[in-house]
């Protein structure tokens, strides 16, 4: 069943004030397999309105924002198909924003530019040109729909993350790896709130399966903050007159501590919309179940869950072998 019809059917009668715009068709069916029967799958939850909305209604709203941040689970192919839809919807609404990728570091910016100059209509070889999978990202075939949507709409694409060399030096040098002027300009000298800092540490803790000691977590905080600030810089420095879209992991688009935090600090008046792609969990059927804090995102777009191995079990085994 077409996902536009599915989403529209489940929210019949629920409207919002923004005008409804025509939008491209969503992909047929789901590629992820788990929890497809969760009643949230296919629905979009508008957080501030506490109501389900259609894709067209969401497109009308985000189409007026200077910055749109689309958060994903990296290995869920449906999330990337929906991110591609967002780009197409913005383009069909007459906008030409830049597309900034967390997955492309600054040291691959030249390779991206060279590829786009040589193959401006073909996304098939872009993953190879950027050493996508060699750098640890899921298969390029998952992300290819995003690049195809950008190329079809003639949207510029740009790197968002810190270079590998900078990240390496950052772990030993801290803010000095960026330089004092850059660190200050990006807002890294401004501390997060105590709540924001603890939330960031908890995210890092859970992301490493509670296996890291506190000193290791403390050392990772400034690195993560620098990456979020780099993503905000990518949006600001690459924005066209129609702004920019960020393609990134959902943790990087949290309003309370991640890229939007730095974006807001540097351009307070900018309009920002955050769409979080969310995997439906077994037995969790209320949108509130997926919001650890209020106002983190503007929209939750629910999809089935991707099948994956137990990463924590694998990590524990690696830690055991090291011991």
- List, for residues 43-73, the tens digit of each pLDDT value: 999 999 999 999 999 999 999 999 999 999 9
Angle at which helix 214-238 crosses helix 194-207, to 10 degrees, equals 110
Residue 1 has pLDDT above 70, yes or no: no
Residue at token pair 């030249």:
110
Give the pLDDT confidence score for residue 210 in this predicted structure: 87
Give the pLDDT confidence score for residue 219 in this predicted structure: 85
Residue 292 has pLDDT above 90, yes or no: no
Phi, psi of 157 (to 5 degrees): -115, 150
- List, for residues 151-206, the tens digit of each pLDDT value: 999 999 999 999 999 999 988 888 899 999 999 999 999 998 898 888 898 888 88
| Residues in contact with 206: Cβ distance below 8 Å, sequence separation at least 6, in sequence order | none
Q: Which ranges in 123-273 belong to alpha helices (H)?
A: 126-129, 140-152, 164-173, 180-186, 194-207, 214-238, 259-266
Residue 100, classed as helix, strand or coil, is strand
> Cα torsion for 9, 11, 17, 18, to the nearest 10°?
-50
| Residues in contact with 50: Cβ distance below 8 Å, sequence separation at least 6, in sequence order | none
| pLDDT band of 6, cuts 50, 70, 90 | very low
Residue 17 has pLDDT above 70, yes or no: no
Residue 8 has pLDDT above 50, yes or no: no
Residue 150 has pLDDT above 90, yes or no: yes
Give the pLDDT confidence score for residue 7 in this predicted structure: 43
Buried b (16+ CB within 10 A) or exposed e, 60-92: bbbbebbbbbbbbbbbbbbbbbbbbbbbbbbbe
Residue 270 has pLDDT above 70, yes or no: yes
Give the pLDDT confidence score for residue 320 in this predicted structure: 63
- List, for residues 176-188, the tens digit of each pLDDT value: 999 999 999 999 9
Q: How far apart are CA 77 and CA 32, in angstroms?
A: 7
Residue 243 has pLDDT above 60, yes or no: yes
Q: How far apart are CA 96 and CA 81, in angstroms?
A: 19
Tell me how far the alpha carbon of residue 160 is from its chain's centroid: 11
Q: Which long-range contacts (CB under 8 A, 24 or more apart) does 179-188 make?
A: 186/226, 186/229, 186/230, 186/232, 186/233, 186/262, 186/266, 187/229, 187/232, 187/262, 187/265, 187/266, 188/222, 188/225, 188/226, 188/229
Q: How far apart are CA 34 and CA 73, in angstroms?
A: 14
Q: What mean pLDDT is reported for the chain?
A: 90
Question: Up-side HSE of residue 259: CA atoms within 13 Å toward CB?
Answer: 33
- List, for residues 27-43, the tens digit of each pLDDT value: 789 999 999 999 999 99
Span 110-122, mean pLDDT?
96
- Its CATH class, for the domain covering 3-322, is alpha beta
Q: Count the residues in the chain.
A: 323
Residue 16 has pLDDT above 60, yes or no: no
Give the pLDDT confidence score for residue 22 in this predicted structure: 62
> Cα torsion for 250, 263, 83, 33, to the nearest 10°?
10
């Amino acid at each position: 069943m077409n996902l536009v019809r599915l989403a529209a059917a489940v929210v019949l009668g629920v409207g919002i004030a923004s005008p409804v715009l025509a939008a491209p068709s969503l992909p047929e069916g789901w590629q992820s397999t788990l929890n497809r029967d969760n009643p949230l799958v296919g629905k979009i939850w508008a957080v501030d309105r506490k109501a389900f909305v259609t894709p067209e209604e969401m497109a009308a709203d985000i189409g007026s924002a200077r910055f749109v941040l689309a958060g994903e689970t990296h290995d869920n192919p449906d999330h990337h198909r929906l991110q591609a839809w967002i780009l197409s919807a913005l383009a069909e609404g007459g906008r030409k924003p830049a597309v900034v990728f967390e997955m492309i570091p600054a040291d691959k910016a030249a390779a991206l530019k060279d590829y786009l100059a040589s193959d401006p209509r073909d996304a098939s070889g872009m993953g190879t040109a950027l050493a996508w999978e060699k750098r640890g990202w899921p298969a390029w075939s998952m992300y290819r729909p995003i690049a195809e949507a950008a190329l079809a709409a003639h949207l510029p694409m740009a790197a968002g993350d810190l270079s590998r060399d900078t990240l390496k030096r950052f772990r030993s040098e801290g803010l000095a790896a960026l330089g004092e002027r850059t660190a200050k300009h990006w807002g890294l000298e401004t501390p997060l709130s105590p709540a924001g800092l603890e939330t960031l540490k908890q995210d890092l803790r859970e992301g490493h399966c509670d296996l890291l000691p506190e000193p290791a977590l403390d050392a990772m905080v400034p690195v993560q903050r620098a990456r979020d600030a780099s993503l905000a810089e990518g949006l600001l420095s690459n924005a066209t007159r129609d702004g920019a879209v960020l393609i990134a992991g959902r943790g990087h688009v949290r309003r309370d501590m991640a890229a939007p935090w730095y974006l807001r600090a540097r351009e307070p008046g900018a309009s920002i919309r955050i769409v979080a792609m969310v995997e439906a969990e077994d037995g969790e059927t209320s949108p509130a179940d997926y919001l650890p804090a209020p106002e983190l995102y503007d929209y939750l777009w629910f999809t089935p869950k991707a099948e994956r191995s137990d990463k924590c079990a694998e990590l524990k085994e690696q830690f055991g072998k090291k011991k």
